[in-house]
Amino acid sequence: MTREERKVIIASSLGTVFEWYDFYLFGSLAAVIGANFFNPLGADGQPMFNEATRNIFALLAFAAGFLVRPFGALVFGRLGDLVGRKYTFLITIVIMGTSTFLVGILPTSASIGISAAVILILLRMLQGLALGGEYGGAATYVAEHAPQGRRGFYTSFIQVTATAGLFLSLLVILFTQIALGPEAFAAWGWRIPFLVSVLLLGISVWIRLQMEESPAFQRMKAEGTHSKAPLTEAFFQWKNAKIALFALLGLVAGQAVVWYTGQFYALFFLGQVLKVDSFTTNMLIAWSLLLGSGGFVFFGWLSDKIGRKPIILGGCLIAALTYFPLFKLLSAEANPDLHRAHQTIPVQVVVDRSTCSFQFNPTGTAQFTNACDIAKAALARASVNYSVEEAAGRAGAGVRINNTMIEAPQLRNMAPAERGPAAAAFNRQVSAALTAAGYPAAANPSVVRMSNPFDIFREQPAVLIGVLTLLVIYVTMVYGPIAAALVELFPTRIRYTSMSLPYHIGNGWFGGLLPATAFAMIAQTGDVYFGLWYPIVIALMTVVIGIFFVPETKDRDIYAGDTVRH
């Protein structure tokens, strides 16, 4: 690797790490953001929303960043194919860094009311747009500098950046919490990780200003063969559009769900389902990322030897076949008492199934107010395994715990002011009955708990870190070679545009919707593991489509097909 090639990789990767750092801060601090920006005061001087509603709005704002990523891919992908890679992803990092810094100085809802939430969501959408343009630019730029036969290895450093950004955001948050204490962090210290981004922005801009334009793009511009309408050429000509479609369904969709399951769903499962405290959860994930992230470079390098498809599709297949035993092992180790309760304590929802809804709520705005939905959501949030007993024609829904029957309230028949107290009373009854039946409290002594970052040499944390590291290795298998595979599928003239859109639809939508989809599936069936069927089915779909419709590209000349065809 030459000095210039190292400079290209470091400059592209470092900037992309900082972009992902900015993007992940929002999700990691969702509860704090909900309390500060979605907490306007009513006329009586009291908060208008309870904690659950605030958190829903915060997650809605978080989801907005994922939903707009494909639009960023279109806007900046087109710009990158028209004016160049270097200047386009220089623009994206300025937008990302500035938006993140502004979150750090934005007045809260206590100061400016609902305007705080509106401005926050706009800043979050700018983050999503910027990220939509960043990844494709960085991957394309590095790939077009890489020598033939080494693109998998070179672009694998870009693949490390998403995990490194998550890791960096977790570390900054944890050390800020430790330094300031929980009260100061909740009051004002949460702003520090956002404000730090201005330093990262300055470093990134300085580095990227030193970079030269991609040689492939320079040659294409000199020859006058660049695309005049990259969006039209990429997505409205079937010969190119079908490649983008197969790339989405036969590579990226499976990669996305394996990535989000191994990092984000594992985080959700430990914290929300298994009731592990946030410090321990973050440290377990951080250790697994530290131990497993070398796989990105290894599998990128290996893909130059044996091909992109065997590694990406193999990772999807292995993940799909092993998710159930691995997540059951996580459950048994992280919260043994809860794991035993899942297997031994019968809980039923007695209801006419026709009255129940599928509680898919990716935006956090849907209202589920009938008795069946109230009962199922309460049990799902309490991490209870339950079955549904059909009672045709039954009015309302009852929850049977051992021999105790608790009737769920019909909130849709109540005045809005009555719904909160009624739901709270029902939740208290369910909680008391579960405790009496033998379900453990959230903070029971069997739950894994780390006292410090290096408390990893006991059985519980050691086994959990081992399982989580294996999930991260699956992530590195599918994600390490993906940039090279996407770059090689498309000609230089429309490469930035063509690869960015399937990547961000796959990761922003297939991956980003995973937690909401999994929760809805858990609530629907009463099985805390049932949500895993979503990534399993998508991963298996990708294996089948990838085998039959996606070509192997490791030996492809990425400069072929760059001339204009008349």
* 442 domain-assigned: no
* 358 domain-assigned: yes
* Predicted confidence (pLDDT) per residue in 457-477, tens digit: 999 999 999 999 999 999 999
Residues 152 and 56 in one domain: yes
- How large is the angle between the packed helices 253-260 and 514-525, nearest 10 degrees? 70
Of the candidates 211, 314, 242, 292, the residue with the CA atom closest to the CA atom of residue 468: 292
Residues 4 and 94 in one domain: yes
DSSP string, 57-76: HHHHHHHHHHHTHHHHHHHH
299: domain range?
Answer: 234-344+449-555
What confidence score (pLDDT) does residue 459 get? 93
Residues 18 and 78 in one domain: yes
- Looking at 226, 261, 276, which one is the last position of a domain? 226
Of the candidates 243, 270, 316, the residue with the CA atom closest to the CA atom of residue 535: 316
What confidence score (pLDDT) does residue 565 get? 36
Residues 339 and 430 in one domain: no
Q: Would you give the DSSP letter of residue 224?
A: T
* 377 domain-assigned: yes
Residues 394 and 336 in one domain: no
Report the alpha-carbon distance of residue 164 to residue 292 in Å, rounded.
Answer: 11
- Looking at 405, 437, 469, which one is the last position of a domain? 437
Q: Cα 122 from chain centroid? A: 19
CATH number at residue 408: 3.40.30
Helices (H) and strands (E) in the chain — how many of each? 26, 4
| Distant-in-sequence, close-in-space partners of 444: CB < 8 Å, separation ≥ 6 | 335, 337, 338
Residues 510 and 426 in one domain: no
- Looking at 200, 226, 252, which one is the last position of a domain? 226
* 244 domain-assigned: yes
Residues 304 and 325 in one domain: yes
CB atoms within 10 A of CB 429: 17
The structure tokens listed for 185 are 């962090």
Report the alpha-carbon distance of residue 60 to residue 65 in Å, rounded.
Answer: 9
What confidence score (pLDDT) does residue 163 get? 81
Residues 457 and 525 in one domain: yes
Phi, then psi, of 559 in degrees rounded to 5: -95, -10
Residues 219 and 302 in one domain: no
**Burial 531-560, CB ≥16 within 10 A → b, else e:** bbbbbbebbbbbbebbeeebeebbebebee
Name 351's bridge partners: 390, 397
What confidence score (pLDDT) does residue 311 get? 97
* 494 domain-assigned: yes
* 418 domain-assigned: yes
User: From first to last of its 566 residues, what are the pLDDT tens digits of the chain?
Assistant: 677 778 788 878 887 788 778 777 876 776 687 778 876 655 555 555 555 555 556 666 766 777 888 888 888 888 888 877 778 878 888 898 898 899 899 998 888 887 888 888 888 888 888 888 877 778 888 888 888 889 999 999 888 888 888 888 888 888 898 888 888 988 899 999 999 888 888 888 888 787 777 777 777 777 776 667 778 887 888 888 899 999 999 999 999 999 989 987 888 889 888 989 888 998 898 899 889 989 999 999 999 999 999 999 999 999 999 999 999 999 999 999 999 999 999 999 999 888 887 766 554 555 677 888 888 888 888 889 999 899 888 888 999 998 899 999 988 888 877 887 888 899 899 999 999 999 998 778 899 999 888 999 999 999 999 999 999 999 999 999 998 999 899 887 788 888 888 988 888 788 877 877 887 788 788 888 999 999 999 999 999 999 999 999 998 887 765 543 32
Contact between 406 and 426 (Cβ < 8 Å) = yes
**Strands 347-351, 387-390: pairing kind:** parallel
What confidence score (pLDDT) does residue 561 get? 54
- How large is the angle between the packed helices 495-505 and 69-83, nearest 10 degrees? 170
The structure tokens listed for 414 are 């109540």
Amino acid at 87: Y
Residues 209 and 76 in one domain: yes
Residues 327 and 461 in one domain: yes
Report the alpha-carbon distance of residue 383 to residue 243 in Å, rounded.
Answer: 42
* Predicted confidence (pLDDT) per residue in 540-562, tens digit: 999 999 999 999 999 888 776 55
**Which residue is it, tokens 């570390």?**
171
Provide the whole-model pTM.
Answer: 0.84
CATH number at residue 202: 1.20.1250.20
What confidence score (pLDDT) does residue 563 get? 42
CB atoms within 10 A of CB 485: 29
Of the candidates 263, 272, 58, the residue with the CA atom closest to the CA atom of residue 164: 263
Residues 199 and 97 in one domain: yes
Report the alpha-carbon distance of residue 135 to residue 88 in Å, rounded.
Answer: 11
* 565 domain-assigned: no
Report the alpha-carbon distance of residue 520 to residue 256 in Å, rounded.
Answer: 19
Number of structural domains (the chain) is 3
* 560 domain-assigned: no
